[in-house]
Structure formats: C-alpha cells, structure tokens
Amino acid sequence: MIDNVIQEYWQPIVESYRRGETALPLYMGLNQNGYDALMLAMGIELAMGLESIPLSREVEEKLQLRLELMNMRVSELEELERLLVESLNSDVVLGSEMVTVLASACLGSQHLWRDLGMPERPRLTALFRDYFPSLHASNNRNMRWKRFLYRQLCENGGDYVCRSPSCEECASYSECFDIAAK
Ligand code: SF4
C-alpha cells in the first residue's frame, strides 16, 4: 500500500509542487520537519537530495507568498482539516500529512485536482477513496471535490459557498457539479 499511495498520489503532488505548478504554499502546508519527513518517507535523500533538486528562486518566492496568504485563513484551514480528519482512513500511510496538504490546496482558486498537482480529476477521486472513504462515499452526485468539501462546511454551519438552501434551486449549480465527468 505504501508504494502505491506514494506512486499514485504523493509523487505527482511533490513533483508538481517542486515545479511551482500547485496552489500549495511553502513546504506544501506542512512545517519544515514534516516536509523533511515526507521526503524521507518517499525515499528522497535529504542530506544531498534537496540541494541537488533546488527550487528556483521564483518558485520559492511564490511559495513564501502563498504561505503568508494561507496564514490569513487559518480558521478556514482548520475547519477543512477537521472535516478531513473525521473521514481519514487510519490504515493508509502519511494520513495526517495528506490532511494538511489537501486542506492547504483547497485554498487555491482552481479545481482541487489542479491546485493539488494531480494529473487529472479521477486520480483525486481515487485519493479520496483511499484516504477519506466516508467523504468519497458521500459524494455520490459527482460534485466537484473542492465544492463538495465546502458544502460540508456550509452544512456544519459555515458560510462559504452556499447561497441557497438546496442545490437544485441554486444559481451556482454548474460550478459545483461536474456533470460530464465520472
Ligand atoms: S449548488 Fe449552491 S447550494 Fe449546492 S453546494 Fe453549490 S453553492 Fe452550495
């Protein structure tokens, strides 16, 4: 399982992050120790490895700015993390790291699979199946993942995306549901 989740999920996330192609902040939302531990778990040699594949200055500045912006939305981030933790599959490795990284990616402005650095949406759906099975089961209407998570927060009393009590009556329906994709 560990090889599988690293190859299927972590590898594309980290590679996209290092190219500056995600919405993730510095250290992908983790603290530096957590990020270093993740690199070790993925088999990247820290002593030499991080220096041998350095982030460009431009990418590093962008990541630092994102970190500052993320720090202005801490309560939203914590709500997302709580939601994800409730559904976390404890049998899968690097679960708490995935909670933090996924919640951090939710603060981006594009579709979650893009903001997270996934190659396509079905890979993100598989990630939810393996890491967050009850959320995966609840999203049985193929709702866009970021919208789905915020919908859960709205139902818990938050005030993030929902401008209508029911999706069927809502003007934002097409923004929330990916009718074409399965
Ligand atoms: S369609 Fe409207 S009510 Fe439903 S989740 Fe989207 S914003 Fe909220």
User: pLDDT tens digit string along 26-64?
Assistant: 999 999 899 988 888 887 655 444 444 567 788 888 888
Q: Is 55 exposed, middle or buried (0-12, 13-18, 19+ CB in 10 A)?
A: middle
Give the per-residue pLDDT at 3: 66
> Is-contact 108 149, C-beta < 8 A?
no
Q: What is the pTM of this model?
A: 0.88
Q: Looking at the DSSP assignment, which residues form a beta bridge with residue 143?
A: 177
**Residue 174's pLDDT is what?**
86
Q: Which residues line ligand 1 (CB under 6 A)?
A: 147, 151, 161-164, 167, 170, 172-173, 176
What gap in Å lies between CA 44 and CA 42, rounded to an integer?
6
Amino acid residing at 175: E
pLDDT at residue 163 is higher than 90: no
What is the 115 CA–ligand 1 centroid distance (Å)?
20
Closest-lying ligand 1 atom to the alpha carbon of residue 161: 7
Q: List, as own/partner pairs, every contact residues 1-6 make where C-beta atoms lie below 8 angstroms and the sequence separation is at least 24, other chains included.
A: 1/91, 1/92, 1/93, 2/93, 5/92, 5/93, 5/94, 5/130, 5/131, 6/41, 6/42, 6/43, 6/93, 6/94
**Which residue CA neighbors atom 7 of ligand 1 most closely?**
162
Q: Ligand 1 center to residue 87 CA distance, Å?
A: 21
Give the model confidence (pLDDT) of 87-118 as tens digits: 999 999 999 999 999 999 999 999 999 999 99
